[in-house]
Amino acid sequence: MESIVDTNNHRAVLSMLVDSIVEANLQTGGNWAVQCQRNDIRLTVGHYYIFVIDRNGIWLALDRDLIDTTNCLTELENAGWVHDERYGSYKDKYQNIFSVNGYYVSQSGYLMGWSSVSISQLHFAFINSIITVGQSMDSRTPNTHSPGVVQYLRNTLGRTVPDPTYE
């Protein structure tokens, strides 16, 4: 897992992942999964990858409605946010676009944006949107959960990290 995460920001990146896991656990009652692939680590909530760590940086799904209401896209881009042209948005169960997806790019100070422009708030709002209008988790997803990643996060950061419950 160390080879996937940027060594300069290792603890900060993992802390962001834990923040997302904790929020997903609170909002979904434990209906999430984290997977460790060869080239990335993914957090899935409902039918959606919402947080991915790979060599390009940190890929996040953000709440489109909140971005539109706060008109903060320029501020996000100034904090190191880059819209993902390939997987730029998700559709909800009614086929309406309800996310804006993209990367933090690896540059000096890019992790500052997690709190300075409320990217975490936009990200957590998307998790809440999944509960109300998102597609349900595929029944196969719980089988892809990697409990070893959760244990690694606990050991590395010394933080409490919940386990999914799959009700």
pTM of the predicted protein model: 0.89
- One pLDDT digit (tens) per residue for the chain, 167 residues: 555 665 567 788 899 899 999 999 999 888 899 999 889 999 999 999 999 998 878 899 999 999 888 888 888 887 778 889 888 899 988 999 999 999 876 454 445 556 555 788 899 999 999 988 999 899 999 999 999 999 999 999 999 999 999 76
**Residue ranges covered by each domain of the chain:** 7-157
CB atoms closer than 10 angstroms to residue 147: 11
Which strands form 81-83's sheet, in the order they lie side by side?
A: 32-36, 40-45, 48-54, 57-63, 99-105, 81-83
Q: What is the DSSP letter of 97?
A: B
